[in-house]
Structure 1
């Protein structure tokens, strides 16, 4: 039986862990040749590539520090030397961000985060879309965040504003590319259990489990399933959306504030 992405090449940025790793494996399971990038931890990236091959896919890894336009260009040069075009792009890697309230941020810190995020996606689109046009097929899936629509934890303003800007870019790109067989969508996860979320207090996790209609916290595989749906040829009529992947809780919630209010002595 032919798998839906057989003969296609998929690029997954930030593919060595978390949502990126799970997405790489899911796309390999659909038949794609997966190129996954990593910034640090080549061994972890190689383990993901091996897991892709165990799903009867093919994969290799690229070192990439996607810190903005220059980093994206270096990665794209290496990518173009390795493969003849990309059919699916999962834009998952993110840049470092200062954890501070907006009033505490320097303007350069805020704009630097937004600029880096937009520059990477823009460079990918400029370099990879022409060959998608020639094939009449392309998929961009941008991994966003619930922080894009409102704060759900302190100190995430620069991160959330960067993600909101990416979602706006998705809508514009989708409108411009809709005639060409190229779709551009985003996935907006809520809280996901990954190694980057290990510091979230257990009291906050418990409150999330109670509030999420699915009754549990998301794993990276849950988000990868949504990513892989949008990457398939059958999703060609889905374009320009930001799809919440939250287990049914589809509004921003400031979890630390809620937990403080519910604890004895908290603000009512």
Structure 2
């Protein structure tokens, strides 16, 4: 791909990794960071055409976009991703840990313990490898941002079948606090974003009446969009965010507590 313009902005000269960058929140985040001047590395698992479209949009903003395939369900997926990133770029300034392993959408009473353990392990190991592989070098260069995409499901039940998801996100938020304590100095920050309901392909299975009720319960009066989340990531990625560290910020439109709509509505 050929750059059509020259990049400029507060992240000019920075390199950002966005996992799960081919669609939804990841795609919006990648294009937003590119608009701020950062070169981007995008991962995808199966949707190459979508990833290529995102990369093309990024490069139209005058930055370089690199695509990497990553299977985060694989036992060695995290290690393979770290190796692939190191082969393509010499360093990272920003890491957005957005992609996650698949998980069983079943009640706890029906959940296989191995499947639950695999979900927690895969996501925590991925975050740990990204952190230990790239964040120490950020401190040596004097600038780094690690942003972990979490969920309001970490606070408690929000819908049936999300137990594995919520338990894993709670573990990631705990990791953020420990990583910020160990690595969050010398121009480096480690933070998370706990998301409310965001309109993506994954959330499209939620019935419209439940979505309407959730929008009505949200002080902002609407549900979130991928761009809302990308905007929050960009705030944490900027140099001005250096004093925000070790926090998991709610990005929820004001609904900062778990609301199990299926229970409320009697479904």
> TM-score, normalised to structure 2's length?
0.95
How far apart are the structure 2 equivalents of 1:58 and 1:45? 14
Q: Could you tell me which of 70, 73, 78 is aligned with 1:67?
A: 73
Q: CA deviation at 1:260?
A: 2.1
Q: What secondary structure is seen at the aligned counterpart in 1 of 2:76? A: helix
Superposed CA offset, 1:176-216 (max 9, x none):
11223211000111110011111110110110111111111
Q: How does 1:203-242 map to 2 (within 5 A)?
A: 203-242=209-248
Q: CA deviation at 1:69?
A: 5.9
Q: CA deviation at 1:57?
A: 2.6
How far apart are the structure 1 equivalents of 2:75 and 2:16? 20
Equivalent residue, structure 1, for 2:43: 37
2:22 is equivalent to residue 16 of structure 1: yes
Q: Could you tell me which of 82, 98, 103 is aligned with 2:88?
A: 82
Q: CA deviation at 1:2?
A: 4.9
Aligned pairs, how many? 261
Where does structure 1 lack aligned partners over 5 or more consecutive residues?
A: 262-268
Q: What secondary structure is seen at the aligned counterpart in 2 of 1:218? A: coil
Superposed CA offset, 1:46-89 (max 9, x none):
10111112233321211111226611111111111111100000
How far apart are the structure 1 equivalents of 2:189 and 2:162? 29
CA contact (8 A) 2:15 2:38 kept: yes
How far apart are the structure 1 equivalents of 2:52 and 2:164? 31
CA contact (8 A) 1:144 1:166 kept: yes
Report the more deviating stretch, 92-101 or 102-111.
102-111
CA contact (8 A) 2:136 2:183 kept: no
CA contact (8 A) 1:69 1:119 kept: no
How far apart are the structure 1 equivalents of 2:133 and 2:183? 14
> TM-score, normalised to structure 1's length?
0.94
CA contact (8 A) 1:23 1:221 kept: yes
Q: Could you tell me which of 192, 200, 217 is aligned with 1:194?
A: 200
Q: How does 1:77-226 map to 2 (within 5 A)?
A: 77-226=83-232
RMSD value, Cα: 1.3
How far apart are the structure 2 equivalents of 1:54 and 1:260? 48
2:251 is equivalent to residue 245 of structure 1: yes
Q: What secondary structure is seen at the aligned counterpart in 1 of 2:249? A: strand
Where does structure 2 lack aligned partners over 5 or more consecutive residues?
A: 1-6
